[in-house]
Amino acid sequence: MLFVRIPAAFRPHIAPRLFNIADPDPDTGKMHPLAEHYCPVCDEPLAVDGRIVLVPIGISPDDRKDSGWSNAGCVAAHLACTGYTEAEVEQLREEMLQS
């Protein structure tokens, strides 16, 4: 489980964010920390495809509030394994940011 900051009013059903972790960081030459983690859907290393989404799965009920940002749990998965397209991911992200 990873922890991310998301809108405090988030409800766990959508809001992925696309990342590309296939290539080393150009400044440090190091791979992304998630590169060696495994996709929970296909069980392959996340760096195999490189295009991943972080899918928030929820906020602790004690941390929920009407506005602002809060910490939440999320999972990383290959974009292809989520069933989303890059365009859908960006649309969902925009909707999340506007809420």
Per-residue pLDDT tens for 11-27? 544 345 667 777 888 88
Q: What's the confidence (pLDDT) of residue 90?
A: 78
pLDDT (tens digit per residue) in 31-42: 888 888 899 889
Mean pLDDT score across all residues of the chain: 76
Which of 31, 44, 99 is closest to 77 using CA atoms?
A: 44
What's the predicted TM-score (pTM) here?
0.64
